[in-house]
Structure 1
């Protein structure tokens, strides 16, 4: 399961916190408002019921009262329905059995005992408030107050508070996202600087004045980069110095081996064989020294200039006695690229040498594009490169498994490392994949080399 990013987690935490807080406040506000409105409604209903009860009591205090007419004389509007219980009989302005049935027996009992009472009930599925007022030992007055409008008010209030809670939660998420974006900006700068350093740009630094709270981190990071740059420069200089120092004795040995080779007809078989082996090893040693010198130089940025890469690829094929028909320029790709000629020439030479030595021979050299990146692809007919070796073969002094199963094994282990280094100098990268139909496809991408 993929883990959520820090920014997403913080934004989610802000959203959940804001939602819990707003929901709690909304719930408390709803309950307080609801209780306050209910209490007010009960007080108003109780006052109105007492007033109407006094009118009814006065109307009944006659010799022959008209109960229905007395009830009709009450100004109760459309939300209050008066009911009178007199001498065991129920009286109302209209025949409505639901109204009398809605009066709870417990409420009637309390009012019959001479105590006023209030109770919330439901009449025909609608909320109502029943108020009972005793008039005499044989009479009790009840009013059934509709609370439908109040319930609608509660629904609107609940909807409004829910909407506010959702908006507050969304605002919390947005605030969390903004806060993390602002707070992680220094870390983004660190990541960008680290990416540049990984690509070989050791001039990347952090500004300690950007954030006072991260001054120590910025200073420590810059010191680490300084030390790393000094160490790499020291190692590069050491490799270059050693390689240069080895050139002189190697040239002397190569000259001596050349003399022995010219006098081979004057030597016995064992001496001639030994001289040949010495000459081969000296040649291999010279190639190793040359590669080390090139590797020591390869850390520098590429010096780009317009270069005809088609011509460069054909020259590389000539150097290995390969047909120039191997070179294919993709349609729509210009032949002139903005690259460093020396580096790209060595990239082509090393890829062709790798294909000849370990891949049975190159099958094609393609020059294509990917956006503004020029792409060099070299296919071979070899066994391919196992997935687990596809990154390691571009390291220094590492050779793939094919190097141990084919050829004489006299490679330096630096050819593909130089390819990767030259690609990185152009801010690109080198990869290897399976070639359709079998074999390997080495691919070098060079960003910014095409118009």
Structure 2
């Protein structure tokens, strides 16, 4: 904007100066040429009417010198008609107390202009005759009170000035546009390091911790780039260390957990032999052991992703995978596949994608009153998978927070979860270059919508 406004200001000043100088010069030139032509025609008229001036006689006859006698055989109208052809639109003469004219009307001349010329001074005036601008020029004759007038069209001058005005305005606008283009280029070059910083910071915020700035040698932003890269490297090492720690702890917990689960299964197989007061604590312990099992599995999944596990991609039929994972998790048929989605495939990590569907259905079953249905349709990025539940829904303020680690909704049914299942879902969907969001289900409850870049085989 600064470059554009500067260019517009400079070009406007230059255009204004050019317009002032050129228009004044052209106007003065037109006036000068019109006055010269009128004076020449007045001289030619005088010559035709009185003939060549005679030399003065001796002193006793000097009173007659300068008072020529008109030729009585000359017609003034014919004389006006015989004047040299010029660009004048009309010629008229005030002679012997009479007006003589070919085309113009003396009544169109301003009275003060006529009086001034008849008094002996050459004058000109811009007037309008018949809707056209003309320059009226008057030249006094040899005898006082007589005058010769012509008016000259200004249409050519006005057209020239109009063309000049449009040209200067267009040039000022073009200069402003060029200034904007140059300013945009200059600002882009100047702010390119900041744009790179923004992109890398956004990548780090989205979990791409290996993103780095490549402008460490920039004399202006080199220090900032080095500090940012060092911070990102420290963050990457910290996250990797935390992931290894979580993975190591989870692996260490699996052995005692399996021992406790097997022991609990053995106890539950003989629950009929247990005393009544012991059965309820055993059931509560079984529920807590199941939650502990899910927590360990989720921690292993999170640590695997944080540790940089790239997985393996293979072509999967989305409809078959969703149907198998959702129905198995719910323990009943809950999947509905649209006909146009039956043939959709995706280059996917089968384990991750199954975990996405299983976690969403499990979340609906355990924390939201049950899964109302799972839908698979073509659309969006390629395929749209919806999971509906029967719960109270998720408040708008919580719809982004529930996908964070240990982020849980504020409703009592959802608060029993550990808050890792939906975080894993979001990570796996992002890994497949898809999107996930939660909205209200028509009729009540929540609807989770997953879009994946699928295509038809």
- SS of 2:213's equivalent? coil
Equivalences for 1:15-414 in 2 at 5 Å? Answer: 15-58=4-47, 59-60=49-50, 61-65=68-72, 66=74, 67-79=76-88, 81-92=90-101, 94=102, 96-97=104-105, 100-134=106-140, 135-180=142-187, 185-208=192-215, 214-247=221-254, 250=257, 269-299=276-306, 300=308, 301-307=310-316, 309-317=318-326, 319-320=328-329, 322-324=331-333, 326=335, 328=337, 330-334=339-343, 337-370=346-379, 373-402=382-411, 404-405=412-413, 410-414=416-420
**Partner Cα separation in structure 1 for residue 364 and residue 324 of structure 2:** 16
1:420 is displaced (CA, Å) by: 0.9
**Partner Cα separation in structure 1 for residue 315 and residue 332 of structure 2:** 25
1:330 and 1:367 in contact (8 A); partners too: no
Check 1:437–1:191 CA distance in 2 against 1; reply closer, same or farther (3 A cut): same
- SS of 1:151's equivalent? helix
RMSD of aligned alpha carbons: 3.5
Check 1:198–1:139 CA distance in 2 against 1; reply closer, same or farther (3 A cut): same
- TM-score, length-scaled by structure 2: 0.80
1:353 is displaced (CA, Å) by: 0.9
- SS of 1:298's equivalent? helix
Task: Answer with 414-423 or 225-234: which moved more.
Answer: 225-234
**Partner Cα separation in structure 2 for residue 214 and residue 396 of structure 1:** 34
1:352 is displaced (CA, Å) by: 1.4
Check 1:283–1:40 CA distance in 2 against 1; reply closer, same or farther (3 A cut): same
Task: Answer with 28-37 or 67-76: which moved more.
Answer: 67-76
Counting matched residue pairs gives: 434
**Partner Cα separation in structure 1 for residue 232 and residue 42 of structure 2:** 93
- Unpaired stretches in structure 2, ≥5 consecutive residues: 51-67
**Partner Cα separation in structure 1 for residue 133 and residue 215 of structure 2:** 68
Q: Which has the higher contact order (CA 8 A, sep 6+)?
A: 1
Larger Rg: 2
1:284 and 1:410 in contact (8 A); partners too: no
**Partner Cα separation in structure 2 for residue 175 and residue 234 of structure 1:** 49
Question: 1:422 is matched with which residue: 419, 428, 441?
Answer: 428
- TM-score, length-scaled by structure 1: 0.81
Check 1:233–1:356 CA distance in 2 against 1; reply closer, same or farther (3 A cut): same
1:200 and 1:424 in contact (8 A); partners too: no
Task: Answer with 324-333 or 112-121: which moved more.
Answer: 324-333
- SS of 1:26's equivalent? helix
User: Can you list the C-alpha shifts for 1:352-408, whole angstroms capped at 9, x where unaligned?
Assistant: 111111333223333344466444322233333333322122122222244x147xx
Check 1:81–1:248 CA distance in 2 against 1; reply closer, same or farther (3 A cut): same
User: Can you list the C-alpha shifts for 1:282-336, whole angstroms capped at 9, x where unaligned?
Assistant: 3322322322222222233443223455554454356446224635364254365
1:431 and 1:442 in contact (8 A); partners too: yes
- Unpaired stretches in structure 1, ≥5 consecutive residues: 1-9
1:272 is displaced (CA, Å) by: 4.2
Check 1:39–1:383 CA distance in 2 against 1; reply closer, same or farther (3 A cut): same
**Partner Cα separation in structure 1 for residue 137 and residue 238 of structure 2:** 93
1:338 and 1:450 in contact (8 A); partners too: no
